Amino acid sequence: EGGDSTEEKDTLVMATNAEFPPYEYYEGQDIVGIDVDIANAIADELGMELKIEDMAFDSIIAAVTSGKADFGAAGMTVDPDREKEVNFTDTYAEATQVIIVNEDSTIAGPDDLVGKKIGVQLGTTGDMYVSDIEDATVERYNKGFEAVQALTQDKIDAVVIDGEPAKKFVESAEGTKILDEAYTQEEYAIVVAKDNEELLEQINGAIADLKESGKLDEIVAKYITS
Ligand code: ARG
């Protein structure tokens, strides 16, 4: 690395879980989405080559703390427990957790989840919130869409998941709907190892530039039509 004459760029490794449209998902063999575009823009600014490692969502923080990846970008919500293990960059998106139910469900809001069977993606903030609901049974899936499929098969009563992927999942799961009342508000940021202050600052600089130049809005508009 560095110092040799073939101008090979250093690589910046991103850990993600590409089961989360429109932030990261497969289009054929390629992983695409808002986080991928943001990460590519960051890598460009740093003059580095982006390499994406797809893994289980609940392995991302360990990949970053162990140095297997330089950063994690996965629609990851800023959360105080995670902050004990990794640093969060400045936020780049606002998000919600929403409830998906079958169209004929009697569940109308968060209060109706008491005693119900609720599906989540393993290790997500949805998983954390739902685990506190009284008498609820939590079914944890490796992929968010698997939870929605279980819902359509009446194996569970509801799914708690991030609002934007929820829209995509409901589009391809007939007979399901998103409740109007959101469950929580949250914010997404990138995670970096605690001992990598330099990269944290570099990414924060790049995020600030993306916000200021309007490029961030452009990226979002490419994937989310409101
Ligand atoms: N925002 C939620 C969290 O941080 C879910 C993120 C899931 N992301 C993914 N790429 N599967 O826990």
CA angle 182, 160, 185 (to 5 degrees): 35
- Give residue 206 CA to ligand 1 midpoint distance, Å: 22
Domain 95-184 grouped into CATH 3.90.1150.10: no
pLDDT one-digit tens code per residue, 48-91: 999 999 999 999 999 999 999 999 999 999 999 999 999 999 99
For range 101-129, the mean pLDDT? 97
Q: What is the ipTM of this complex?
A: 0.98
What pLDDT band is residue 34 in, cutting at 50, 70 and 90? very high
pTM of the full structure: 0.94
Q: Is the pLDDT of residue 168 over 70?
A: yes
Q: Tell me, what's the pLDDT at 7?
A: 58
For range 93-121, the mean pLDDT? 97
Mutate to test the pocket of ligand 1, among 31, 35, 38, 76 (most ligand atoms within 8 A of CB): 76
Mutate to test the pocket of ligand 1, among 86, 122, 124, 164 (most ligand atoms within 8 A of CB): 124
- Give residue 160 CA to ligand 1 midpoint distance, Å: 11
Distances (CA, A) of 40 to 98, 172, 180, 215: 29, 28, 34, 12
In short, whether 74's Cβ falls inside 6 Å of ligand 1 is yes
pLDDT one-digit tens code per residue, 109-122: 999 999 999 999 99
Q: Tell me, what's the pLDDT at 9?
A: 72
What radius of gyration, in Å, describes the C-alpha atoms of the chain?
18
* Lowest mean pLDDT, pick from 1-15, 19-33, 127-141, 160-174: 1-15
3-state helix, strand, coil in the chain (%, to 5): 35, 30, 35
**CB of 60 closer than 8 Å to CB of 17:** yes
Where in the chain are all domains bearing CATH 3.40.190.10? 11-94+187-223, 95-184
For residue 108, report the phi and psi dihedrals to the nearest 5 degrees. -115, -10
pLDDT one-digit tens code per residue, 186-221: 999 999 999 999 999 999 999 999 999 999 999 999
Atom of ligand 1 nearest to the CA of 95: 1
- Give residue 73 CA to ligand 1 midpoint distance, Å: 9
- Give residue 155 CA to ligand 1 midpoint distance, Å: 23
Rounded distance, CA 165 to CA 93, Å? 14
Domain 11-94+187-223 adopts which CATH fold? D-Maltodextrin-Binding Protein; domain 2 (3.40.190)
**CB of 75 closer than 8 Å to CB of 35:** yes
- Above pLDDT 70, what percent of the chain? 96
Q: Is the pLDDT of residue 33 over 80?
A: yes
In short, whether 125's Cβ falls inside 6 Å of ligand 1 is yes
Strands 117-121 and 137-141: parallel
Q: 193 CB contacts (<8 Å, ≥6 apart)? A: 64, 65, 67, 70, 86, 87, 199
- Give residue 4 CA to ligand 1 midpoint distance, Å: 39
